[in-house]
Amino acid sequence: MAVRLGDEAPDFTADTTQGQIHFYDWLGDSWGVLFSHPKDFTPVCTTELGYVAKIKPEFDKRNVKVIGLSVDPVDSHEKWDKDIEETQGTAVNFPMIGDPDRKVADLYDMIHPNANNTLTVRSVFIIDPNDKVRLTLTYPASTGRNFDEILRVIDSLQLTDGYKVATPVNWKDGDDVIIVPAVSNEDAKKLFPKGWDEKTPYLRVVKQPNR
């Protein structure tokens, strides 16, 4: 079954490069990013994992835990980690799930048989502190993902949860944002006492509230 936005993220127990984890316990009160890659010792994946390790402080700042997965076993991940550190300049500093029996891959529908019937696609799931899925993304094996975009989405989701604002096209941290349509003008006056720029009754632009 596909995992969709708003679904409860499937819980699981798995072996990782940092020991066995129970997913919900491991997440605790944090946000989570669970991402899969097709196979160990592959070039695009090597660059992705090195980059995620490099920007891990950015995830930490946002109270987000990251965890990777492939259908290779943990001992293979551990051997591969050395190549990642050597070629990308940063050691992998987050757990990697070994999923040779595809338990987690099947739970999250990470194997798309018409693309490849044994390897996981490049999936990303952003999971909030209530264990709800807030983003799903699927990329082909040959295209490395943009993890800066994942951080941007986390910023947007956290703004929506914290301040009832949405983010417009190509929004970057610091740009103006939009009052969500569910907020009435009456409530908006309390939430945004400095007012807003009403382009149309449904397009109400405000400064980013946490700036």
**Contact footprint for ligand BEZ (CB under 6 A):** 38-39, 42-45, 141-142
Catalytic residue, chosen from 9, 27, 44, 45, is 45
CB proximity list for 69: less than 8 A, separation 6 or greater: 34, 35, 36, 37, 96, 97, 99, 104, 105, 110, 120
Nearest partner of 49 among 73, 68, 70, judged by Cα: 68
**Shortest Å distance, C-beta 159 to ligand BEZ:** 32
Give CA–CA dist 127/145, Å, rounded: 18
Of 120 and 156, which CB lies nearer to ligand BEZ in the complex structure? 120
Nearest-Å Rg of the Cα atoms of the chain is 19
Of 10 and 38, which CB lies nearer to ligand BEZ in the complex structure? 38
**Shortest Å distance, C-beta 72 to ligand BEZ:** 12
Of 46 and 156, which CB lies nearer to ligand BEZ in the complex structure? 46
**Shortest Å distance, C-beta 142 to ligand BEZ:** 5
Per DSSP, the three-state class of 200 is strand
Residue 195 annotated to the active site: no
Give CA–CA dist 108/52, Å, rounded: 21
**Shortest Å distance, C-beta 53 to ligand BEZ:** 16
Of 37 and 134, which CB lies nearer to ligand BEZ in the complex structure? 37
Q: Which residues are catalytic?
A: 45
